[in-house]
Structure 1
Amino acid sequence: MAPSPPEIFDRALGRRWLDRAWARAGDGGGADFLLRRAAEDLADRLSLVKRRFALAADLGTPGPHAAAALAAGGQIDRVLRFGPTRSSLGAGDYLRAIGDVERLPLADGRFDLVVSLFALQTVNDLPGALIQMRRALAPDGLMVAALLGGDTLTELRQSLTLAESEVLGGAAPRVAPFVDVRALGALAQRAGFALPVVDLDRVPVRYLDIVALMRDLRAFGAANALADRSRKPLRREVLGRAAAAYAERFSDPDGRLRATFDIVWLSAWAPHESQQKPLKPGSATARLADALKTRR
């Protein structure tokens, strides 16, 4: 039996944060600017794929943004949406259900397209989730996912770590670890996908102060759900020192604070015999050295 993946996130707590945020905000999703941006980007990416999809699945995206973009694009006959919680399920003229992206109740080879926005960065078993998405696709089916990664919230992480270290003599994890951009394509290949493509959209957002940033994170349902988090509330003196460190290191000339959000995009295909294949080693008909020679 394969060992269980490490528990990085308290998934039940994460769902409670998400449900609470969407229950308060309704379909607006509170601080949903990243979702709106990603949904628009998703629509643009799919418009470049000259294909019609009979059945598409939106897996784990909080809010109706992705499913609405799929339905409006005119390329998809039917959309099935698996929302992570009841409050974040949203409305819309498509099939809806509550489902966990780590345990998808999907039949093999059922879908021509699967998408997921901002769900995969908080799973404990990312390779396992990708394998499930791969199995749900029909041959030559397309997967498109966006997740927060790279240097997302690096400013907040550094400021909180510095403040807790100075005030308390040690720091508890308060900002989630994010997937490395370079590793995502390899993970997709391990999951059985073909032709993976990874790219990054860096979104700088400016805030009046650190409290406004934290308020947006809570409204997005992105409060601390790390399994190894501190159970003690953030002390006022720690927050004050973190705010000062943030302003010292990451403020613009007008005094506003910068916050980095790296949206990492992954697209890949379920294998099919019609797809391009890499050449076998040793099958080249010309030597690289000859191609690089210059005429004197």
Structure 2
Amino acid sequence: MASPPPPTIFAPARRRAMRARMRLLERRADAPRFLAEDMVDDLLDRLSFLRHQPRRALVVGDTTGLLAAALAAQGCAVVRADPAPIAGELPIDEEQPISEPGFDLVAALGTLATVNDLPGAMLHIRRALAPGGLAVLSFCGAGSVPALRQIMAETDGDRPAARIHPQVDVRAGGDLLQRCGFADPMSDSRTLDVRYRSLGRLVADLRAQGLGNCLARPGPALGKAGATRAHAAFAAMADAEGRVSERFAILTLSGWNKALRPPKF
């Protein structure tokens, strides 16, 4: 009996548009890149610790180009891809099979948080790995943007609307790695805290890093009155210096293609 299709949580067209807008905003000299840069630094540290030197890698979502450059400097042949590609990158739909298998490394940075079929996407990634290949998947997970969640809850009051994406936690991520047949699965999370002087800057940073709302059924627009309540909620949370601390929890899932294990669905 065929499995039922995954629920449609995110709108693929809105997701592509969100990333396309991000690619435009990242061209600005002062564009925030702290999430992508942290993911790249962490991945390179992991490769160094594991002493894994891939000869061929698929890099998805690295908008900085730093990971591809670092791998290429080590003699690795890198294929870059993105759901909203620019010159030199291939288009990719993570929920579809990857046409070129045989990679020693598949790295997905910041993209898998908004796919409807996360287990399917992870299974496609495992199948794209060569024997002994490694997958490292990083994205914002559970515990992210608690301040914004509180602000939106206070803004909407007794009629909460869908404004923040659902998030994957460490335990669920580890379970998914096992279900998809990865060997030696590891799931961990780390946090970045950033202080903001205004709600507008917080929202701008989210949009510039591809963290806008791409829900299939987003909540209604705040409107003028809602925006006033949101800014008031932000001001009420501010410290003595007029800043609000926001947290980003980066979930990283990794596993090897050491054995072709059947997925457990």
**TM-score scaled to structure 2, two decimals?**
0.90
Superposed displacement of residue 28, structure 1: 6.2
For 1:1-296, what aligned pairs fall within 5 Å after superposition? Answer: 1-26=2-27, 30-72=31-73, 74=74, 76-86=75-85, 89=86, 96-108=89-101, 110-165=102-157, 169-230=158-219, 232-249=220-237, 251-272=238-259
Once the two structures are overlaid, the 10-residue window that deviates more, 42-51 or 17-26, is: 17-26
Question: Number of paired residues?
Answer: 259
Q: Determine if contact 1:35/1:117 at 8 Å carries over to the other structure.
A: yes
Cα-to-partner distance string for 1:169-211 (whole Å, 9 max, x where unaligned):
4121111111012110110010010111112110001111111
Cα-to-partner distance string for 1:119-139 (whole Å, 9 max, x where unaligned):
111111110111011111112
Q: Aligned pair in 2 of structure 1 residues 29, 247: CA closer, same or farther (>3 Å)?
A: closer
Q: Aligned pair in 2 of structure 1 residues 100, 30: CA closer, same or farther (>3 Å)?
A: farther
Q: Aligned pair in 2 of structure 1 residues 176, 203: CA closer, same or farther (>3 Å)?
A: same
> What is residue 263 of structure 2 aligned with on the other side?
none
**Cα RMSD, aligned residues only:** 2.1
1:35 alignment partner, SS class: helix
Structure 1 residue ranges without an equivalent (≥5) = 274-296
Superposed displacement of residue 248, structure 1: 2.5
CA distance in 2, matches of 1:188, 1:27: 36
| Off by >6 Å, runs of 4+ in structure 1 | none
CA distance in 2, matches of 1:239, 1:118: 28
2:59 alignment partner, SS class: strand
Superposed displacement of residue 107, structure 1: 4.1
Cα-to-partner distance string for 1:251-290 (whole Å, 9 max, x where unaligned):
33312011110011111111249xxxxxxxxxxxxxxxxx
Superposed displacement of residue 21, structure 1: 2.5
CA distance in 1, matches of 2:95, 2:248: 24
Q: Determine if contact 1:39/1:69 at 8 Å carries over to the other structure.
A: no
Q: Determine if contact 1:62/1:118 at 8 Å carries over to the other structure.
A: no
1:103 alignment partner, SS class: coil
Q: Determine if contact 1:27/1:90 at 8 Å carries over to the other structure.
A: no
Structure 2 residue ranges without an equivalent (≥5) = 261-265
1:48 alignment partner, SS class: helix
Q: Determine if contact 1:21/1:221 at 8 Å carries over to the other structure.
A: yes
CA distance in 1, matches of 2:152, 2:53: 47
2:76 alignment partner, SS class: strand
Cα-to-partner distance string for 1:65-92 (whole Å, 9 max, x where unaligned):
43233224x1x52111112213xx365x
CA distance in 2, matches of 1:272, 1:6: 30
Once the two structures are overlaid, the 10-residue window that deviates more, 215-224 or 177-186, is: 215-224
1:264 alignment partner, SS class: strand
Superposed displacement of residue 41, structure 1: 1.6
Q: Determine if contact 2:136/2:252 at 8 Å carries over to the other structure.
A: yes
Larger Rg: 1
CA distance in 2, matches of 1:6, 1:63: 32
What amino acid maps onto 1:242 in structure 2? A
CA distance in 2, matches of 1:36, 1:107: 27
What amino acid maps onto 1:264 in structure 2? L
Q: Determine if contact 1:184/1:266 at 8 Å carries over to the other structure.
A: yes
Identity of aligned residues (%): 38
Q: Aligned pair in 2 of structure 1 residues 158, 38: CA closer, same or farther (>3 Å)?
A: same
